[in-house]
Amino acid sequence: LNATTDEQRSQIMPVNKKWNISALMDACRAYPLGAHRRITFEYVMLKDKNDRDEDAHELVRLIRKYDLPAKVNLIPFNPWPGSPYECSSNNRIHAFGRKLRSIFFGIRAHAPELVNSKGLATHIGSTTRKILTPIPIRFPCLLIRGLTR
């Protein structure tokens, strides 16, 4: 997902021009889920791009609007040389997660122990496929219990 508006998402993900947020959310709503299953949305945290408190409010509004039982993974951006984006700070990522929980009571937080990113640092699309220096980061995972239909 990575953004809460089409304008924002188009800047981050060119695929939004073909598959915008509305099309994505409609497809998610139409996807047949088993009992007690949820759709997982990946949300890469980009400094000053999609990590504001307003974005947290809009993310909850979007999931509620489409009535989706969903889990949201907040993922720290892993920058590469020449990347136009920076990762949100750990404090900002956790504040974003706290904001989600404060405005939507049905969210449960899962924060695994520190994860060594050495095994996760290969950048798709990189010309060098270089593995960057490992950085300890947290991957907070938020479970949003949407209303069931």
* Angle at CA of residue 79, ends 56 and 108, nearest 5°: 30
Q: How many CA atoms lie within 13 A of 124 on its CB side?
A: 2
Q: What are the strands, taking DSSP E only, across the chain? A: 39-45, 70-76, 107-110, 115-116, 136-137, 141-144
Residue 21 has pLDDT above 90, yes or no: yes
Most confident region among 16-30, 115-129, 132-146 by mean pLDDT: 16-30
Residue 37 has pLDDT above 60, yes or no: yes
Q: How many CA atoms lie within 13 A of 21 on its CB side?
A: 20
Tell me the pLDDT tens digit for each residue of 101-136.
888 755 544 433 333 344 343 333 333 333 333 334
Three-state DSSP class for 77? coil
Token pair belonging to 139: 């991957």
CA distance 79 to 70: 27
Q: pTM of the prediction? A: 0.72
* Angle at CA of residue 69, ends 8 and 46, nearest 5°: 25
**% of the chain exceeding 70 in pLDDT:** 70
Residue 70 has pLDDT above 60, yes or no: yes
pLDDT at 106: 54
Cβ count within 10 A of residue 48? 10
